[in-house]
Chains A and B, each alone.
Chain A
Amino acid sequence: MTTTKTKKLAPEQIEAFGKELDDLRARIVADLGEKDANYIRGIVGLQKKLEISGRALLWAGWLPPAWIAGVTALSLSKIIDNMEIGHNVMHGQYDFMNDPEFTAKNFDWDNTIHADSWLYTHNYVHHTFTNIVGKDHDATGYGVMRMTDETPWHPIWLLNPVFCGLLQTFFQWGTALQEFESEKWFRGEQTWADMAPARKRFMEKAGKQALKDYVLFPLLSGPGAPFTFVGNATANLVRNLWASSVIWCGHFPEGAETFSIEETEDESHAEWYYRQILGSANFTGSHIVDVLSGNLSYQIEHHLFPDIPAYRYAEIAVEVREICERYGVRYNEAPMYKQLWSVWQQVFKLALPDSTYTQGVLAGLKEIVTFPFSRKKAKAGAPASAAAEQTVLAA
C-alpha cells in the first residue's frame, strides 16, 4: 500500500466518471435473473459434493491417498463456501432472488467468524471507508501488521513478516476476533464488559465450528480420529492461507492508495467510486482462480459494485477498464504471483523504519537502536506524538 498519489481528476470529471459507472450498474441490475440464480445454485451444488466427499474420504483417512484426496476436497469446499458463496451472498449479491437460502441476513458460512460480525467489520466498515487510515481496520493491516507508512514505526514491526505469517495461518480466527477491536482494550478505550456482545457471538459461532471439525467428525472416524482431526485442521489451514492471500492482493500491493479522513470528508458518490478504484487491485488468472477467489480477482469491480453477483465482474471489468483508460484513472492489475510478491515486499519493507529508505541504511539502523531513547523524548514532546504512540500500541 502506498501514499503516493496519482494525479487527481477534476471534480466535474469525477462526476462524469461516476455517471458512467452508475449507468453500467443499472444495465447489469436490469439483467439479473435466472442465469444468476442457476449459477449460484450450481456453485452450492458443487461445494456440497466436495464437502460430502471430503468428509467421507477423511473417514478413511488412515489410507494416505484417501487422506490427500479428502483434504483436497474439503479445502476446496471450504474455500468455495467462504469465497464464492459466503462472501458474495453475505454482500446481498443474491438478495434479488428473494430466496431465504440466498439472502444476506440469513446466510452463514463454514468459518469461525460470525456472520453478523462480518456484516459489520467487512460490509459496513471496510466497504464504506475503504483504505481510509484511521477508519478502515483492514487497510492498515488489521491492527496486527504495519501495511502503510502512515502507521508510525516501532521496533515491534521488525516482526512484521512474522505477524503476517501468523495472521495468514490463523486467518479465520484473526477475522473472527477482529470485531473485538482488542487494541482498543489494550489502549483502555473500551472495557472487558464493552466487548461482551462480540465475545458471546464469537463463542457461539467458533464453538460450533470447532466442535464439528475437531470433535464430532474425528469421533465418527473411530480409531481413525487423529487422521480426520489433522485432515480437518489442514483443510482449514489451506483455506486460511488461500483466503488471506487473495485478500492481501486486494488492497496491499504497491500502487493501491490509502486516504486520510480529512480528504474523504463530504465525498460525493462519484468520488466514493473513484476512491474504490484507486484503493483496490485486481489480479489475473484462470477461470478456476476466479471461482476459488470468489471473483475477488476483480477486487476493483467488487469494490465498485459489492452487491452485484461476483461472477459478473469479469464482464463488467471489460467496461470498467475501458472507462478508466478514457479518464486516465489508474487500473491496478497484475498476475496473482506478482501482486503477492509485491505484498510480501511491502511486508518486509515496512518492517524497517522509513528512514532506511529516505536517509539510507545507516539512518534506519540508528533509528532502531536509539528508539527506546527517542521514545522518552517524544513523550515529553508534542501531543501529536502521543496519538502516534497509541497507534503503535495497537500492535
Chain B
Amino acid sequence: MSLTQVLTGSKLGRRFLDSAFAEALATPHGVDRYVEMVDPLWSRREIRAEVTDVERKTADSVTLTLRPNTNWAGFKAGQFVKLSVEIDGIRRTRCYSPANSQFRRDGRIELTIKVDPAGLVSPWLLANAEPGLIVQISPAQGDFHIPLPHPRSILLISGGSGITPVMSMLRTLTERAYIGKVTFLHYAFTEDDVIYRDELAEIEAKYEGVRIIRAYTNADNGDLQGFFTREHLVAADKHFAEAETFLCGPMPLMDSVRAVFEAEGITDRLHLEQFAAPTRTVPTDEATGELVFSASETKAENNGQTILEQAEGAGLNPDYGCRIGICNACVSTKLTGITRNVLTGEINTDNDVSIKPCISAPCGDVSIDL
C-alpha cells in the first residue's frame, strides 16, 4: 500500500507516471493498464470514482456519493455527468445530474437516481450499488447552469427526480450566501415522494431569501395542488417574468411550462434540462422504407423504432450514452433520407448532417454512416 501511495499519491510519482519515459516503457498499452493493478482508481485521463456511500432515500430512488480521482475538474451546478457501470459484462452509460453544491468541501459528487422499473441501469443500481464499487464518469457537460454574474431573481421549477440539478443550484446558491431572491417550485405525487424533503425544510428555515413551494399532484396537503398551470406560476412568483427560470422535470411538465413562457413571449428567460427515462419506441406497422448502415454494409427494414434501436436490432454495436438525446455519444452522419426527432416531432430533411440516432426515427429510406 505504501508503495502504491508513493507511486500514485506523490507529486514525483505522478510526474513519473505522466512522463514520456513511462509511456515508452508501457507502450503500446499505456501506463494506466499497469498502475490500475495496485490502484483501481488511478488513471492518467479517465475519471474513475469510488462509491463511498449509498442511501435509499425513497422507495424508488438511490443516492450515491462518489469520490472521484484527481482527473475530475468539478462542475457547475445544474450540469450533468455520464455515469458508466458494468452490468453483466456490458458497460452501460447514463446521464445524471449531481445534486450537491458545486463547492462541496470534500469534492465528492452526489447522484440521486430515480428508479425506472422498465429501465436497466437504475434498477441495477438500486439493487447492487454498494460502497467500494468503482465507476467511470465523464467530465461535467451541459449549458444548464446559472450564469455569472448571478441574476437578481431566480426561479427554479422541477418535477420528480428532475429535482437533482436544481437542488444543486439551490445548495450552491445558499452556500455561497447568494443575496438575490430564489423561488423553488417543486412537483411531486405526494409529500413522501419529495426526495430532499427534510433538507428543503431546513434551507427554507435558514435562508430568508429562499421560498419553497411544494405542489402535489396526488395529495392535497401541499402549497399547491395538481399539475402546473399559469396560476401556479403566479402563486409561486408573481414577478416570474423578471426572473431567470431553470426548469427540469418530466416531459408534460416541461411542455406546459414552455407553453406559458411562449405565450408570455419570454422564452429567452427559460432555461431547461430534459430529464427523462431513455427513449424507448415501439415498432409500428406504418413504418416504411429501408435503413442502410453504410459503414457496416448492413441493411434493415424500417420498423419505426429509433435508428439506434434498429442498428442494435441489426446486430451492430454503435456508441451511445444517454439514449435521450443529450450526451452526443451516438451522433452519426445521416447521408440521405428523412428522419423525425421522436421527442419533438421535428423533421430533418437535409443530407450529410449529424443526427442523434437515439432520438431519431427514419421516415422512409434512410442511409446512415454507422
Residues in chain A within 8 A of chain B (CB atoms) = 29, 32-38, 44-45, 48, 52, 92, 95-99, 101, 108-110, 115, 205, 208-209, 211-212, 216-217
A110 to B28, CA, bound (A): 6
Q: Give 11 A-B pairs besides A33-B88, A208-B27 with Cβ atoms closer than 8 angstroms.
A: A29-B315, A33-B89, A37-B89, A37-B90, A97-B89, A97-B91, A211-B24, A211-B27, A212-B24, A212-B27, A216-B25
Segment of B29-37, B69-77, B159-167, B197-205 in the binding face: B29-37
What is the bound-complex CA distance between A92 and B318, given in angstroms?
A: 12
B34 interface neighbour in A32, A48, A109, Cβ under 8 Å: A48
Max chain A Cβ within 10 angstroms of own Cβ: one of B33, B89, B92: B89
Q: Which residue of A lies closest to B93 (CB)?
A: A98
Q: Is the CB–CB distance between B86 and A216 below 8 Å? A: no
A96: which of B21, B27, B90 is its contact (CB, 8 Å)?
A: B90
> Given A36-B89, A37-B86, A95–B29 Cβ distance below 8 Å?
no
**B24 contacts which chain A residues (CB < 8 A)?**
208, 211-212, 216
Contact B90 A209 (CB under 8 A): no
Choice from B28, B315, B317 contacting A208 with Cβ under 8 Å = B28
Neighbouring A residues of B28 by C-beta, 8 Å: 108-110, 115, 205, 208-209
User: Chain B interface (Cβ within 8 Å of chain A)?
Assistant: 21, 24-25, 27-29, 33-34, 37, 86, 88-93, 315, 317
Whether A99 touches B34, Cβ cut-off 8 Å, given contacts A212-B24, A216-B24, is no
Distance to closest chain B CB from A260 (angstroms): 24
Q: Are A52 and B91 in contact (CB under 8 A)?
A: no
Which of A92, A97, A212 is in CB contact (< 8 Å) with B25? A212
Nearest CB in chain B: distance from A383 CB, A: 35
Which residues of B sit under 8 angstroms from A48, Cβ to Cβ? 33-34, 37
With A and B bound together, what is the CA distance between A38 and B90 in angstroms?
Answer: 11
The 10 closest A-B pairs by CB, nearest first: A37-B89, A108-B28, A34-B89, A98-B91, A33-B89, A33-B88, A208-B27, A34-B88, A99-B91, A95-B317
A44 and B93 CA atoms in complex are apart in Å by: 24
Q: B26: shortest Cβ distance to chain A, in Å?
A: 8
Query: Chain B residues near A209 (CB, 8 Å)?
Result: 27-28
Considering the complex, give the chain B residue whose CB is closest to the CB of A51.
B34
CA distance A209 to B26 in the complex (A): 10
Chain A neighbourhood of B88, CB < 8 A: 33-34
Subset of 15 A-B contacts with CB under 8 Å = A35-B89, A37-B90, A45-B37, A48-B33, A52-B34, A96-B89, A97-B86, A97-B91, A99-B91, A110-B28, A208-B24, A208-B27, A212-B25, A212-B27, A216-B21
CB distance from B34 to the nearest CB of A (A): 6
By a CB distance below 8 angstroms, the chain B residues around A101 are 33
Minimum CB–CB distance from A266 to chain B (whole Å) comes to 16
Residues of A within 8 A of B89 (CB): 32-38, 96-97
Nearest residue, chain A, Cβ from B320: A98
For residue A38, which residue of chain B has the nearest CB? Answer: B89
B86 touching A99 by the CB < 8 A rule? Answer: yes
B37: chain A residues at CB < 8 Å are 45, 48
What is the distance, in angstroms, from A100's C-beta to the closest C-beta of chain B? 8
Give the residue of B33, B90, B317 whose beta carbon is less than 8 angstroms from that of A33: B90
A115 neighbours in B (Cβ, 8 Å): 28
Q: Hey, which chain B residues are within 8 Å of A36, CB to CB?
A: 89
CA distance A48 to B28 in the complex (A): 13
Q: Which residue of B lies closest to A110 (CB)?
A: B28
Q: Collect the chain B residues with CB atoms within 8 Å of residue A37's CB.
A: 86, 89-90
Distance in angstroms from A73 CB to nearest chain B CB is 15
Whole-angstrom distance between the Cβ of B366 and the nearest chain A Cβ: 24
Contact A98 B25, beta carbon cutoff 8 Å: no
**CB-CB nearest in chain A for B28:** A108
Q: How far is the CA of A49 from the CA of B92 in the complex (A)?
A: 29
Q: Assess the A98–B90 pair: CB atoms within 8 A.
A: yes
Q: How far is the CA of A212 from the CA of B92 in the complex (A)?
A: 35
Q: Which residues of B contact A108 (CB under 8 A)?
A: 28-29
Q: Which of B25, B86, B92 contacts A217 (CB 8 A)?
A: B25
Q: How far is the CA of A45 from the CA of B37 in the complex (A)?
A: 8
Contact A97 B34 (CB under 8 A): no
Closest residue of chain A to B315, judged by CB? A29
Q: Nearest Cβ in chain A — how far from B299, in angstroms?
A: 13
Closest A residue to B87 using CB positions: A34
Q: Which residues of chain A come closer than 8 Å to B29, judged between CB atoms?
A: 108, 110
- Nearest-Cβ distance from residue B277 to partner chain A, whole angstroms: 20
**Smallest Cβ-Cβ distance to B89: which chain A residue:** A37
Residue of A nearest to B27 (CB): A208
Task: Determine the chain B residues whose CB is within 8 A of the CB of A216 once the complex forms.
Answer: 21, 24-25
Give the residues in chain A near B21, CB-CB below 8 Å.
Answer: 216
Contacts of A34 in B (CB 8 A): 88-89
- Residues of B with C-beta under 8 A to A95: 317
Q: CA A44 – CA B30 in complex, angstroms?
A: 14
A80 to B131, CA, bound (A): 34
Output the least CB separation between A257 and chain B (Å). Answer: 26
Residues in B with CB closer than 8 Å to A109 are: 28
Name the B residues within 8 Å of A44 (CB-CB): 33
Q: For A208, what are the chain B residues with a Cβ–Cβ distance below 8 Å?
A: 24, 27-28
Q: How many Å lie between the Cα of A378 and that of B233 in the bound state?
A: 94
Contact B92 A98 (CB under 8 A): yes
B203 CB → nearest A CB, Å: 39
In the bound complex, CA of A98 to CA of B91 (Å): 5
Within 8 Å CB of A99, what residues of B?
A: 86, 91
Instruction: Report the separation of the CA atoms of residues A33 and B89 in the bound assembly, to the nearest whole angstrom.
Output: 5
* B27 contact set on A, CB distance < 8 A: 208-209, 211-212
CA of A273 to CA of B344, assembled, Å: 45
B189 to chain A, nearest CB (A): 34
List, in ascending order, chain B residues with CB within 8 A of A33's CB: 88-90
Specify the chain A residue showing the minimal Cβ separation from B33: A48
**Nearest CB in chain B: distance from A218 CB, A:** 12
Contact of B90 among A29, A97, A212 (CB under 8 A): A97
B313 vs chain A, min Cβ distance (A): 13
Expressed in whole angstroms, the minimum distance between the Cβ of B95 and any Cβ of chain A is 16
The residue on A at minimum CB distance from B319 is A98
